[in-house]
Structures are given as C-alpha cells and as structure tokens.
Amino acid sequence: MQGTVEDVDVPSASDVLRRCRELVRPALVDAVGRLHPWTGEMAAYSLGWSDTAGTPEPGGSEGKGVRQALALLGAEAVGADAACAVPGAVAVELVHTFSLLHDDVMDADALRRRRPAVWKAYGTGPAVLAGDALLARAVTGLAETPGHHVAAAVRRLCGALNDLVAGQAEDLRFEHRPWDGPGAVGPEEYRSMAEGKTGALLGCALALGAVLGGAPEPTVAALDRAGRHLGLAFQAVDDILGIWGDPATTGKPVHADLHRGKKTHPVLAALAGGSRAARELGTLLASARPTDAAAAERVASLVEEAGGRAATRGEARRHLDAARDALRATPLTRTAARELDVLFAGLADRVM
Amino acid sequence: MQGTVEDVDVPSASDVLRRCRELVRPALVDAVGRLHPWTGEMAAYSLGWSDTAGTPEPGGSEGKGVRQALALLGAEAVGADAACAVPGAVAVELVHTFSLLHDDVMDADALRRRRPAVWKAYGTGPAVLAGDALLARAVTGLAETPGHHVAAAVRRLCGALNDLVAGQAEDLRFEHRPWDGPGAVGPEEYRSMAEGKTGALLGCALALGAVLGGAPEPTVAALDRAGRHLGLAFQAVDDILGIWGDPATTGKPVHADLHRGKKTHPVLAALAGGSRAARELGTLLASARPTDAAAAERVASLVEEAGGRAATRGEARRHLDAARDALRATPLTRTAARELDVLFAGLADRVM
C-alpha cells in the first residue's frame, strides 16, 4: 500500500521528531557513555532511557527532542546534510538536560515527566554533579568536533548558556518581587526572562545547525530569531499548563506555579487588565501565597476571568507567528522549511 | 635603600602570587561584571571581594590565586608576554570558583575560608545557579578571545572540566565504599580521583598559559604534567590539613574529613600499613563513622601512629619533586622557571 500524496509530502511533527531522534541517538549515547559511570547513570535516567536501578526503559519517559531536531533541521534548511549538525544537536540536548536537572533543584520541583526529578531520586548533591557533567560534556563534544565552523558554534553555544543561566536567575528573583506597585515585574522584564530561559537554547539549536552547515551570518541570525520566538511561545504555553495543565499530561502537580508565587504571564496579564476580577486577584495575591488547593483554584479562576489565560494564548500565537514569519523571510530549502513549519505549528496544538 | 641581590633575583611565592593577581584582576572584575547582577554578587562573595550584603571587603577572604598565577607563568615560561594568558587565567579562576561553590553543596561544607559557604549564605539553589553562571562565563570568556590558539585552549579547558567533574564523582562515590576488603579504595583509584579533582585544573592552568603563548605540544604536555603532580601534592597536603589542620588556619571544622568518612590518603595509607595501630583503626572504622570529637580524635591518633601522616607527607614530597623535575626537564625561560619553582616549593611550607 502506498501512502497518500499528503503523507509523502508533509510528515507529521512527531514523524519529524522521531527521524531526528534516530539520527542523533548514536552520538548522544556515545556522549553519555563518556561520562563517569555514576553521572552517566543519572544522565540516562534524566533522559528517560533507564530507571533509577539503571535498568533500560526504552522510550518510557523520553523527551520529544525538540532541540536536537531544530539543530538538524537548521542544517538541512541551509542545504547541508543533517549529519554535520549532529554534534550541535547532542550539545543542545545535553545543555537542555543539564538545565532541567539544575532547575529542578533550584525550583524544588519533585516531579519531571511523571517521575521523581533526579535530585529526588539520587539526592541534591549528585543531581548538581550530574548537571555539571552534562554541561562539561556538551561543550567538550562540540569543541572537539573537527571542522572550520566549530569555533563559531562553540561561541554560539556559550552565548546561549549565559542567556539561559541569566534567564533562570531572573525567574528566581521574580519570585521575591511584589505582584503590584513600583517593584512589580513589567512585561519587558518578563519577556527578557522568558527569552533567556527558554528562547536562547531553541534559537541556538537552529542557529548551530546553520553554522555547522556553513550558512552566512544573516541566515544564522534569522534562524536564531525564529527559535527565540518559538521559545517565547513555548514559555507562554508552559505558563498556561503550569496553572491549568492536567497533571496526567504535564507530569507535574496542579497549580504548581501558583503555589510557588511564580511571576507567570497569565497572572501578570490578568493583573494588568484592571477589571473587577483583576482587582480581586491583586488583593488576594497581595495578602498571601495560595497555600491550599482551594485558594489556588480561586486564583486560577480569577486569572481566567480577568483575561490572563486568553492574553497568554494570544502571546503564544503572536510569537509562533513571528517565528514562522522569520522562517518564511529567510531563503531555506523547501523540505526542511516545511518540516520546521510543521514542527512549529505542532506546538500550538498543546493548548490552542 | 636597595634590596639585597637575593631579593631582586628571587621574589617570594607571595610576591609572585600578588603580581599575578594584579595583572589578572581587571579582566576578572570585568568577567564577574558580565554576570547577572545577582549571580555576580554571589561570585564576588565567593571570590572574597565582598560580604553577603554586597559591601566590598577588599582582600579579606580572597584566595591566593594559584591557578591564575600558573596560567601567567605558563606563558612567561615559554617566552610569551603574560598578557596573552590573562583570558586563560580568568577562565581557570572562574572554573575553580565554580567547583568550590558546587563542591561545598555536594559535600555539605558549611564553611569556606572562615566564612559561610555560598549555599549557607544564599541558599542551595542560588549557589548552584551561581556556579553554573561562573562555569558558563569561564568557557565563554576564553572562547570569545581572539587569536589562533584559542580553539586549542578551549579544548584544554574542557578536558580539565571533564576530569574535574569525574574526580568529584569518584570522591563522592568513595564515601560509600568500605575501608577494607574487596570493595576498598585502592591506591591507584585514589590517585586517579585526586588527579581529576585537583591536578587537572592546575595542569590546565599551566598548559593554557603555554598554549596561549604559542608553545609547541611537548612543552604544553610537560607543563600540564607538572601541574598535575603539583595537584597531587596539593591534595595530599589538603588531606593532612583535613585531619590535623588548625581550623583557625584552614577555615574549616577540625576532623571534617573523618566525620564524613572521606577516603583520604592518610587513612588509606595507615590501613595499608598492617601494624597493630592499623588493625585497631580498621576495626574502629568498620564499626561506625566517628560521630563525636573524641572518636574522631582517636581515629586521628591511630592514623598517625600507623604512619598515615608520614606516608602522606612523603606522597606530597614525591609529587612536588616530580612536578619540579618535569619543569626542569623542559626548556623554559629562566625567570619564569625560577618563579614557578618558588611557587611550587612554597606549597611545601604548608605542612612540611
């Protein structure tokens, strides 16, 4: 039986992700194999390859691998072979895993992809160490790749790393800022935090593929910009899921962000609305952090009533459009551009 | 008044260290200034430049800066200007600071240079973040340095980073190993751990200076080897201070390593001795970890009686000699070679 023309022409987002994971997998397995056996075990656990006893759990809790896919598609989009971007794909995937490990420690998030976070499963110190090992391995693997474009790729990766850490610093600091008044977090500050925390590495993934594929600087910059917008859309979606997401799907407790007093887009947008619900929300948040389920439920309702959820959905859509526009305005090979578009659009399905 | 001929010819170790700190300081201040302000504040605290309120404390709890000095002397030793090694000096100093921050989290060490460790002063999450920021900045600063030798320098730094993290992993794993029997830590395993944890970065510091100074590979390798031996001597001295050091000098609690069950050289060497004291020590350690001061004191006495302290002093001396021999066997400029020798010898004064 043959597939339809549509099947052949436009693979689904999950097809694209699967193809890329399969291309990157051997190099990723090799990179993890170069770690100290103990940190390697924690890395394999956090990548969803095995359980805490080190027993393989193929595909069980594996991430989608969006970043590694972006790196390969970034190369293909500039007419290069995906293979040249594999070292970049491995690097961004390891940096992503490093950041999940350390962020879970900093945010005291006990669950990750429906399983205990690494610090819960192995202890805080070991989780810090495993993150360090992943970060060191990420930069090393890229720096040791032969080729003319590697030095530029390492600089790109380093730039993203600095942005990522600065974004996480902002996010943590925001928790100590008031919801209202002169010390409140403004929209520009929120955006800068989200771009660092989530956009920098997605932009870097696409850009790394293009750099390793030998693309000229304007193309690299356009892909980086597209990835950063994608990241801002991603973060908006994450903020929605952090309040209204189903724990069975998100793998995280319900209302987690509300209990922690995270300065997320829906709440900030709701407070900026000025409606009766916004004022009630402001009063409620100013008095105390919601500590029980009923209080969090009340906050979530008010955020929705004050338009916070709709505003954040709009924010996600705007950044997704900007990301797709940035791609369309760049001369890219047709197949990869379509696959990127499918991948970008697939994100929207998560909440819209 | 003129100094004597000796004063002019051979500066003291502290003169050498001070000169190097002064040369590196502006670039180090610049690097810390590029961090997010919050992580920058923690970095300045951990570098001993300020207190927890961010108030400057000039020189109060600053480290000696051995690694930055080795980087500059590595360049001078191969006939290059120290200035070319400053980016390498900054990188190794930031990596060292990163490792202190994260190691203190992993080891639950509450004191560092007589002040609360960063995780005690700012919290565990922030200390992890500050370490990440320092590591990212270290690699970035070096990768962004212009020049032909930078790619090789970045690879060297990455190699040392991986060794450092693997050494720390070994050190933590050793705590769960028995003191005796088939699962005991052997001398080769101890050496490999200490070389990774302490030797790799010291070797890297010297080698980076030589690489940035344009030295040929055999010279770079010889300097790396010298630095690694220096690191092994350093670790032996540290192990002695971790048991018998004066808390007023070390800035750490007395017998800290014994309470934690650290597999240090003096204890391992004592157990290997086979004397009556060694057997008594083995029985004592097999029964329980010393939890109070009297028990730790008893362990320390037995380690000394069984020859552990003397053996470790010998180990330090052997590695120091090997380090100095490696320097002497390499064609280096006279002044820098003498300053390195003074610096290496100065280490011995700490315990011998």
Can you give the pLDDT at residue B281?
93
| Burial per residue of B68-78, b for 16 or more beta-carbon CB atoms within 10 angstroms, e otherwise | bbbbbbbbbbb
Question: Nearest-CA distance from A103 to chain B in Å?
Answer: 8
Structural Rg of chain A based on CA atoms: 20
Cβ distance A135 to B133 less than 8 Å, yes or no, reads no
In single-letter form, the type of residue at position A108 comes to A
Q: Which residue has the higher pLDDT, A259 or A105?
A: A105
Cα–Cα distance measured from residue A116 to residue B221, given in angstroms and rounded to the nearest whole number:
44
Can you give the pLDDT at residue A259?
81
Q: Which residue has the higher pLDDT, B264 or B256?
A: B264
Mean pLDDT of B202-211: 98
| Lowest-confidence region among A49-58, B18-27, B215-224 | A49-58
Q: Give B87's contacts in chain A (Cβ within 8 Å).
A: none
Question: Nearest-CA distance from A162 to chain B in Å?
Answer: 6
Cα–Cα distance measured from residue A283 to residue A280, given in angstroms and rounded to the nearest whole number:
5
B193: which 2 tokens?
Answer: 């751990």
CATH code, domain carrying B137: 1.10.600.10
| Lowest-confidence region among A201-205, A220-224, B1-5, B174-178 | B1-5
Q: Give B144's contacts in chain A (Cβ within 8 Å).
A: 155, 158
In single-letter form, the type of residue at position A291 comes to T
Residue A5 reports pLDDT greater than 50: no
Residue B185 reports pLDDT greater than 70: yes
Calculate what percentage of chain B has a pLDDT beyond 70. 95
Cα–Cα distance measured from residue B48 to residue A135, given in angstroms and rounded to the nearest whole number:
26
Mean pLDDT of B274-299: 86
Calculate what percentage of chain A has a pLDDT beyond 90. 73
Cβ distance A161 to B169 less than 8 Å, yes or no, reads no
Query: What is the pLDDT of chain A when averaged over all its residues?
Result: 91
Residue A324 reports pLDDT greater than 90: yes
Cα–Cα distance measured from residue A254 to residue A244, given in angstroms and rounded to the nearest whole number:
7
Domain limits for position B279: 5-348
Q: Which residues contact A264 (CB under 8 A, 6 or more apart)?
A: A239, A242, A243, A257, A312
Q: Which of B295, B296, B299, B256 is nearest to B281 (CA)?
A: B299
Mean pLDDT of A159-173: 97
Q: Which helix (H) or strand (E) holds B265?
A: helix B265-271
Count interface pairs A-B at CB distance under 8 A.
Answer: 129
Domain count, chain A: 1
> Would the pTM count as exceeding 0.90?
yes
Tell me how far CA of residue B183 lies from CA of A42, A249, B174, B178, in angstroms: 22, 43, 10, 6
Residue A140 is nearest to which of B106, B132, B162, comparing CB atoms? B162
Quote the strand ranges of A77-116, DSSP E. 111-112, 115-116
A72: which 2 tokens?
Answer: 């390969």
Predicted confidence band of residue B226 (pLDDT cuts 50, 70, 90) = very high
Predicted confidence band of residue B350 (pLDDT cuts 50, 70, 90) = low
Residue B158 is nearest to which of A131, A140, A151, comparing CB atoms? A140
Residue A3 reports pLDDT greater than 90: no
